[in-house]
Amino acid sequence: MAHVLAQHESRNVMKSTAIQIRGVNAHLGSAHILRDINIDLKCGHWINIIGPNGAGKSTLLKVLAGLTHYSGEVRFSHLSESIPNPKVKARHLAWLGQSQMGADDLSVYDVAMLGRLPHQGWLSTPSTEDRAAVEQALRQTQAWEWRERSLRELSGGERQRALLARALAVKAEIYLMDEPLANLDPPHQVDWLEIVKSLISEQKTVISVLHEISMALLGDEMIVMNCGQIMHQGISSDKVTHRAIESVFENRIQIMRINEQWISLPRMISDKYSDK
């Protein structure tokens, strides 16, 4: 009876959980990068992973994407198999990595169309649905007007927007984004924020690694990492979360509320605000 109740409870948890991670460890050579990671990531939430350089943030995201070797268990609520079919998983997960290279001769349109490959049959041509998804993604990232340009012709920010369009074209349930704001100027960072908010309103899940702490504080939840471990997981607006963030950055930053918004400031600047 206890076993049946435990199974029922597990199924209920998975209904509200996008990803369950249990006992995950990862190594790079002899270096132990991730150490016994155990967390649940909620459906329909924007979750940010933050921490100092070398904390294991990008490695954790790559584990979720299946891009690096690991031990332990990663389960996805929308996938019934413990080891899902790669093509099915590719329709379920969209990946935006940092400093992605290659495919420089492809047009922006063709790069975005790569996001539709998991939905297409072998050697099939793009469908009307594929073309509509690509156009929507390129318009969302304001890349439609230069869709015929090759990737090599783009600035760093334009390239990032083209790669974001490829991820959006997947129409996935979960979006994994590693430093998505790299090379984006402030207006296009705001555009990215609006895209994320739109995805969350559609009950999609966004998990991003950000160095921009003030932007990360706009999310629903924070995972604070250091030395390959989860130091804290909590609501972004919670003061306990703020103290955990300050701690992993050696208290050289301070989380403050200014004009009804939580932001991160260097301690030497925040002290001036505190004196007022």
Mean pLDDT by 10 residues, the chain (276 residues): 38 69 96 97 97 97 95 86 76 87 85 94 89 98 96 94 97 97 95 97 97 97 98 97 98 94 86 56
How many Å apart are CA 37 and CA 209, to the nearest integer? Answer: 16
pLDDT at 88: 87
Contact 52, 78 (CB under 8 A): no
pTM of the model: 0.90
pLDDT number for residue 2? 38
Residues 6+ apart with CB under 8 A from 126: 113, 116, 120, 134
Q: Which residues contact 101 (CB under 8 A, 6 or more apart)?
A: none
Per-residue pLDDT, 86: 82
Which amino acid is residue 102, in one-letter code?
Answer: G
Q: What is the pLDDT of residue 78?
A: 74
Crossing angle of helices 156-169/186-201, nearest 10°?
10
For residue 102, what pLDDT is reported? Answer: 61
Q: Which amino acid is at 223?
A: I
Assess contact for 61 and 178: CB atoms under 8 A. Answer: yes
What contacts 163, CB < 8 A, 6 or more positions away? 96, 100, 111
Token pair for 23: 């006992």
